[in-house]
Structure formats: structure tokens, C-alpha cells
Amino acid sequence: MPQVKLDYYDHPVFSPQELHFETNAMDHLCNELHRWLWNGITGGLVYGHARDGKTKAVLAMIDRLFTRGAVQVPVYYVSTPPRDRRVILTIFRQLCWKHDLRVKDRDPADILAERFVNFVADNAKKTACQNAVLIVDEMQRLHVGQFDAFSEIYDKLQLLKINLMVVFVGNDPACWRIINHIERPGYAHIRGRFFTQGVAFNGLLNKQDVTRCLDQYDTLRFPDHGSTYTNFFLPEHVEQGWKLATLSGDVWRIFRVYQKHYKLTSWGMQYFTSTINTLLTDFLPRYGVDSIDDEMIHEAIRISGLVPSLVRPLK
Amino acid sequence: MTGFHVNLGLHFARPYESQYAMVRRCLIANPGISLSKINAALKNEENRSRTIVERLRDKQLTDSTDHSIKGLSDTYRRQCPECARRLFHTDAYALPWLTRCPIHHCEFTSICPQCQQSWPGLKELSTRDCAVCGCKPLKELHEDALTCPENLNIVPIQDIYDFMQPVDSVLEPHLYTYNYFDYLPEFFSLPGCRRADCTSELFTACQSYCHPEFNKKKLKSLNISTVALRHQTSSLYQCVDGEKNTKHKALYYNARYKWNYRVMKRIIRWICSRTADKHKLHLYDYSTISLRWMTQEPLPCPYCLALSIWFLYMMKSLYAPLSNCQRPLKSFLTESNYKYFYPVGEPCILTKNNGFVYSDKRFSGWYYRRCLEIAFIDIMSYVDDLLYRLKRIKYEPKLMTPYSGRGTRVIKLYRPYLPQKYDKYALNIFNDKMVFFYKYENPLEDYVPEKTGRVTNQCKAFNTSLIKNYTFRGVLVPNIIYGIIESYRKFDIKFYEHMNNIFKEDHYQS
């Protein structure tokens, strides 16, 4: 196998899209989705603050959902784009585009819906699984009338005896506007079908969460049989037995200052990884692990953007 | 053109479905997309020259099997409306012996009962707006089409395909071939062993014999029609390549003489039933008579002509000088493009190690006599048509242009005869015996020439003309019907001498 020459900046730490950590929140989400799936629930809402890692978490669920009989459930993901005209056709177009189905300008909504439904039906046959999960991200961008598109898909799949569960993912508090709208009497069919269940998705909530993430820096490798993430950037210190996870207490302690001051519910994963990446790739290689102090961690948190994102009215 | 994902409609797949049904469900699963666009998208993935059916077939689930039936084409033209409503179709529906749908027991139709149009071909499917025969949205499909495949009772279809399976035999796989008794000049290149295929009316009777589990009741429940068939069985003898062939000729040489006699008796009896009492049956050597001569002289008697051709064909291997000189019937027969004599031989089996398996003597004899009889029918049919055309030339002046003109073109454009209906048979190996199935015990008794009627005394004018123009006469065929084989033997010797003389004359002249 030819050796691919890797550039230093090919490391996942420098690419947020490729950096992925398992968190307790993801485990909780996985358990909840399985509970919904195994109990025949047809839909639910996953809500959380911006940058908490919801999208990454649901994307990680694509190959993790199984039926009670340990048959993998096909999962479909679509993200609602921001549009000035929010119509049902947009939903079907997005579903077809996302899954490489043919979309032409003149294709009406029902045709596109049929194509997507048949696509799901084909996969159900291939996987021998009569369940399907559709994840709709950025649901706060939807117009209330667009939910009928998902009802239509649900009904069509019911004709084929395929059980669809639609999981909406939305930002807190933006999603509540539309949830409140759905609670009106005229939308009982939507509410009853898709919004009887909800699960909050949080970032890192405690020191244990932080420790688990930092442990992954010490265990994940790049490339596959290469150095650990920590070793990649701090080889001399790792050889001496140093681990990034030893910083978990200090890192969490410093974050707690911001959490109390700005009344944050959790540490969003984007800000957390940005903080740790700054430490790992910049500060620690430059100044050494022995020079770690509170000031360094404060600076890393400041660089992560956690502070500017708090420029909003406090409750 | 950018590609796109093509849905296959796997949800609607059923066991034993035809390629037509496969394409139909693909079109339903890709609404608003024509077959050509689907083909282009599939071709985009793999740039090989294949049909859309082949491409779709490759994409199906690995456990799907191709159940297309060899010999059938355009099977979509005959469908069960109830199955079509449920998006199901199988190639077996095109089998002529399947009278009704084995699932719904309704009659097959060539027209959709909903829209009253012929069942659409592949190209018309996407444009047909009909819930029964077209490609409609999911909510307009029949509920049985939407539910699980297990809800459609495919068991009868499976039974039909099981019924069509060849019977296991220690000799399988093998080829049926033909052992020709005589050397045939290259001019007479004959087709190989013609065996009834699954579309033949004989097939079902043959298969039901070999599949005892398919009794009459079961066949009736599956709406399989059978015809009454006779059968002959034969023990099998395996020989090294070529060995038995040599022994065959030696062993059966004398037996063939008797067999020829028996068949000739039958033929003459048949001729006598169609000719007047005063008709004198003659044998002639027609090998020097040209088509041109036949257009200008009195027409020969069709029965004498047919018998003469048959006799010479049958006997030529017994006339050593004639067979050695390889004297083809080069005259009017070749001019009228009649190339194929019905092959006289016996069916045998070529095993996978190139060994031959032959039938026993009893069967060989029976089959040989049968071949001779069918050969006569074949020749008689040819003569029947030839003389009809010659009459047209004689009595329609506009066709009587000079010889090099249109006159004989009427005959020359005539194509070789195809095997007659009596030729249809089915062969099978069952319990290590060869079983030969056939319909007509005495083909000659059922045969009636289309154009030739009763003949009175046509021979006389022809005979006179022949004597005038040629130096020989025909040989009068004795009335051997009620005679014994000795009279036949004397006649045979006489004809032999007659032919020998002709050979000598030719030899001297050359």
C-alpha cells in the first residue's frame, strides 16, 4: 500500500469536521432514540443550545440505531436550509437532493415525495428492516406548514408498512417559537405525531465529561496506526508519561468560573474543542506542559470564542 | 448528463417475476422519470454496452434469480389482470399450455380490462396512465401490491417452474443428438435433433410423465393443459465414440430391408386410397429432369413423383454404386431450392465425456420406420406445392415468360420446407430409460395434401412424354400391399438394375 505523505495540518485537530469525540450526552441521546424507536414513537425533538454539538451527535447516530432484534435501522439526515420561501416543495427537494435522487425544476412535490419514499422503501428491503429514522436538523428554520411534508412521507411509508420516526433537531431557544405554534389546536395531528417526546442535548456538564474527552485525545490516533493526538503534538512529554487528561480538573475549574458568571448550562463542544486544540497545538508545544497555569487556560477559553458568543441579553 | 440514484422498487419485487415486472416496478419507484433517463443514469455508473434490463438485473438483491424462460419473447403480451393489478407478472404466463392464471384462476388477456388497451411494452409503460397496467403513484396502487410479498401466493408459480425442471438422471447433463443412418452429402445439411421445447404442446405431457407428483388433479389446479401423448421407451446402451455407429449399420442392415418394406407397403396403401384403380404407380429416376422440362412437358403424377423421390432417398445407401458416386438429385430439386429431406436416423445422446448412448433395436426399428413415413409426408408436401406452382405457370400466361424470365422464379423463390407437425416430439431420460413422446401413431393416416386431390390417370401423359424424350422407362411398382416381402425384393432388384443401368450410362458418357 503506497504511503500517503501527510501534511502536518491534515491532522483532525485542525479540521473541526473531522474531529469527533464520544460524550456522555451522545450516549444519552443514543439511549433516548432507542427508547423512542423500540416503543413505536413516531417523532421527537432534540433541542440544545447552539454549538453544543447536536448536529455532530445526530450524524453519529446514523449507524448506531438498531431494532430490538439487533437489525440496523436506516437513518436519513437532512438539514433545513434558510429560505425566503418556505414551502412543502422545499422539503422534498432537500430530501431528494441529499440522497442523490433526481430533482428537476418542474418536478412537483408529490413526485419528489414518491421518489424519496421509494428510496426509503428500497433501503428497507436491502437492510431487511421495516423501520426508518429521518433526522431533520435546524428545524427552527421550518415553517409550520412544512411539517405536513413529513406527515405525507410518514403516511406513504405506512402504506408500505414501513415505520418512520422523524427526529427534529433544533436550537434552544429558537425552536420554541415554532413548537409553541404547533401547540395550537389546528396542528394536533403534527404535535401528536412528531412532538410528544423531547430530549435536551447538552455540552459538557461536569468534570467527568471533560475527563472523558481529554482521554480521547490521549487514545485516538492519527493516522490510524500512528501517534495519539497528544503524542502528535507533545511527543517528548508523552514519552515521559504525561497525559492531557491530567488537565481535566484545571480546565473544568476554570470553565466553572465562566459558567457561574454567565450562567451557562453546559460547555458547548465547539468551544471546548477549540479551547483544548489551542492548548494542544499552540500553547503547550510552545511553552511546555510545566508552564500550564490558569492564565493559559483562561486565554485558551477566550480564544475559543466562548466569551464573544455570550453577547446577548441575559435572562 | 449527471447521474442520479435509481430506485429499484425492491418493495414490489416478487419471486419468479419477469424482467417486465422488474422494469415496471422500477418505473413506479422513479415517478416522472422515463426509461431512457433511467438507462442513462445506470449507464453513467458503468460505461458498458448492455441493455437496461441487464443493468437493472445486476442491481437486484443477490438472492434474486433470473426466471426468464428460453424460447419466449414479449411475454408481457399475455397477462393476468389480477396479477397485473398487483404489479406481478411472470414469463410463465406466456406458455401456451398454461390456460389460466394459477394464482387467481382468471383467464389471461391480451388487453388491459381497465383501459382497454393492449398491455404496454417496456417503452410504453411509463406513459400509460392506468392503475392496472401502468405506473401509478403509491396511493393508487392495489393494496396487495403495497403489502409484503408473502401476501401474494406465489406457490402455484413455483410449482409451475418446478414442473418445467428437467428430471434428474445419471446421464445429465447431456445433449440430445442424432445418429443418421446414412452418409449424407454436404448438399443435404440437416438440422440437428429437434426436440419439443417448453412452449410445445407436447412438453406438458412429457413432463407429467417424468414428474409423477404432478398428477392430473394437480395439473388441473395449476391450469396446465396437456394433450394425449403416446410414448415409447427404450433401454440405453453406452458406447465409445463411433464404435456403435459402425455396429449399428452392420447390425441393422438386414433389418432395415424389412423395415423399408413395411413402410413402403403403408405408403402404397395410402397412395392407392387416393388414386383410381386404373392408376399405375411408377418409380422414376428424376435426377436428370430439370425444372424447365417440367414446365414444358405434362406434369408428372404427384404420387409417383413423391414415391420416386422417397424411394431413391431411402434406398440410395443400399445401392452401393449410387452412394459411392455421390450422385445428388441435382435437377429440379436443387433448382426449386428443396434442400432438406427429413432426416432418417435415431435420437441418441452425447454424454459429457463424448460417449454415445444409443437406443435398443426395437426402438431403433420403430423410430426408423416412423422417420421414413414422415420423410414421405415431407416429400409429398413438397411435391404437392411444387406441382401447384407448376400448374400456375402452365395455365397463367402472364407467368409464361421465357425460361430465363419470371416463369420459374415462382418456384425458385420457394423456401425449404420446415419440419412438419408430425415431426414434433419430446425426449426425456427417466429412470435411465429414454422416453420418446409423440402425438401421431401413424402420421400418414392423418395426412392430407393441401392441393393434390384424387388422381386418375395422370401418369400416362407423363410417361409417354418421358419415353419420347428419354431412353428409359419407369419401373412399375408391383402391388405389394397384399404380397409378401419376396415380391418386394424382386421389385427392389429390378429397380436396382434399372438404376445401375443409368449409372453405367452416365459413367460411359462422362
**Which has the closest alpha carbon to B237: B428, B432, B426?**
B432
Model pLDDT, residue A64: 93
Strands A227-228 and A221-222 come out as antiparallel
3-state per-residue secondary structure call for B211-262: CCCCCHHHHHHCCECCCCCEEEEECEEEECCCHHHHHHHHHHHHHHHHHHHH
Per-residue pLDDT of B158-217, as tens digits, reads: 999 999 887 655 444 445 555 555 544 333 333 334 456 788 777 888 888 878 888 889
3-state class of B347 per DSSP?
strand
- Please list every residue in chain A whose beta carbon sits closer than 8 Å to the beta carbon of residue B13: 125
Q: Between chain A and chain B, how many beta carbons pairs sit less than 8 Å apart?
A: 64
Q: Are B93 and B101 in contact (CB under 8 A)?
A: yes
Closest-CA residue of A relative to B31 is A111
Model pLDDT, residue B193: 41
Round to whole Å and give the CA distance between A95 and A113: 8
**Which has the closest alpha carbon to B145: A163, A118, A134, A76?**
A118
Closest-CA residue of A relative to B8 is A122
- Please list every residue in chain A whose beta carbon sits closer than 8 Å to the beta carbon of residue B4: 100-102
- From B220's Cα to the closest Cα of chain A, the distance in A is 35
Round to whole Å and give the CA distance between B182 and B299: 31
**Which has the closest alpha carbon to A280: A220, A203, A224?**
A220
Nearest to B146 among A99, A119, A160 (CB): A160
Output the CA–CA distances (angstroms, integers) from residue B233 to B208, B431, B444, in the order listed: 15, 10, 22
Sheet holding B230-234, edge to edge: B230-234, B433-438, B426-430
**Phi then psi dihedrals of residue A65, to 5 deg:** -95, 130
**Which has the closest alpha carbon to A140: A47, A6, A216?**
A47
Contact B30 A118 (CB under 8 A): yes
Round to whole Å and give the CA distance between A160 and A152: 13
Run of H or E residues at A221: strand A221-222
Round to whole Å and give the CA distance between B331 and B288: 6
Taking phi over 0 as left and psi of -120 to 50 as alpha, with beta for the rest, B87 belongs to left
How many Å is the maximal CA-CA distance in chain B?
89
A10-24, A98-112, B24-38, B173-187: the lowest-pLDDT one: B173-187
- The β-bridge partners of A78 are A136
Model pLDDT, residue A247: 92
Average pLDDT over residues A78-92: 90
| Chain mean pLDDT for chain A | 90
Q: A interface mutation test: which of B1, B7, B27, B33 has the most A CBs within 10 A?
A: B7
| Number of helices and strands in chain B (H, E) | 19, 9
Run of H or E residues at A46: strand A43-48
**Which has the closest alpha carbon to B88: B183, B2, B16, B162?**
B16
Contact A114 B9 (CB under 8 A): no
Going by the DSSP 8-state scheme, the letter that residue A140 receives in this structure is: G
Closest-CA residue of A relative to B1 is A102
Run of H or E residues at A78: strand A75-79
Nearest to A107 among B32, B137, B139 (CB): B32
| Number of helices and strands in chain A (H, E) | 14, 7
Average pLDDT over residues A35-59: 92
B318 vs A140, higher pLDDT: A140
- From A38's Cα to the closest Cα of chain B, the distance in A is 22
Model pLDDT, residue B406: 47
Contact B5 A99 (CB under 8 A): yes
Round to whole Å and give the CA distance between B356 and B102: 40
Model pLDDT, residue B402: 44
- From B42's Cα to the closest Cα of chain A, the distance in A is 13
Model pLDDT, residue B505: 52
- From B110's Cα to the closest Cα of chain A, the distance in A is 30
- From A92's Cα to the closest Cα of chain B, the distance in A is 14
Going by the DSSP 8-state scheme, the letter that residue B127 receives in this structure is: T
3-state class of B177 per DSSP?
strand
- The β-bridge partners of B349 are B176, B357
Per-residue cell: B206: 412429457
Burial class (CB in 10 A: 0-12, 13-18, 19+), B13: buried
Per-residue cell: A94: 432537500
Output the CA–CA distances (angstroms, integers) from residue A122 to A130, B12, B133, B154, in the order listed: 11, 9, 22, 21
- C-alpha torsion sign, points A27, A32, A34, A35: positive
Nearest to A101 among B4, B147, B148 (CB): B4
**Cell 424382386, residue?**
B490
Contact B139 A159 (CB under 8 A): yes
Prediction pTM value:
0.77
- From B30's Cα to the closest Cα of chain A, the distance in A is 6
Contact A122 B11 (CB under 8 A): yes
Round to whole Å and give the CA distance between B313 and B424: 22
Cα A152-A59-A277 angle, rounded to 5 deg: 150
> With a cut of 50, which residues of chain B have pLDDT below it?
170-174, 183-194, 320-327, 401-407, 413, 471-472, 506-510
Round to whole Å and give the CA distance between B297 and B393: 12
Contact B138 A125 (CB under 8 A): no
Average pLDDT over residues A306-315: 62
B286 vs A165, higher pLDDT: A165
Contact A125 B37 (CB under 8 A): no
Contact B7 A118 (CB under 8 A): yes
Round to whole Å and give the CA distance between A45 and A167: 6
End-to-end CA distance of chain B: 74
Burial class (CB in 10 A: 0-12, 13-18, 19+), B361: middle
3-state class of A163 per DSSP?
strand
Q: How many CB atoms lie within 10 A of CB B417?
A: 16
Model pLDDT, residue B430: 73
Q: Does A213 touch chain B (CB under 8 A)?
A: no
Q: Are A162 and A125 in contact (CB under 8 A)?
A: no
Round to whole Å and give the CA distance between A79 and A135: 8
Q: How many CB atoms lie within 10 A of CB B161?
A: 18
Report whether pLDDT(A29) > 90.
Answer: yes
Model pLDDT, residue B69: 82
Burial class (CB in 10 A: 0-12, 13-18, 19+), B116: exposed
Model pLDDT, residue B298: 80
Chain A residues 44-83 within an 8 A CB cutoff of chain B? none
Quote helix, strand, coil % in chain B, to nearest 5.
Answer: 45, 10, 45
Going by the DSSP 8-state scheme, the letter that residue B341 receives in this structure is: P
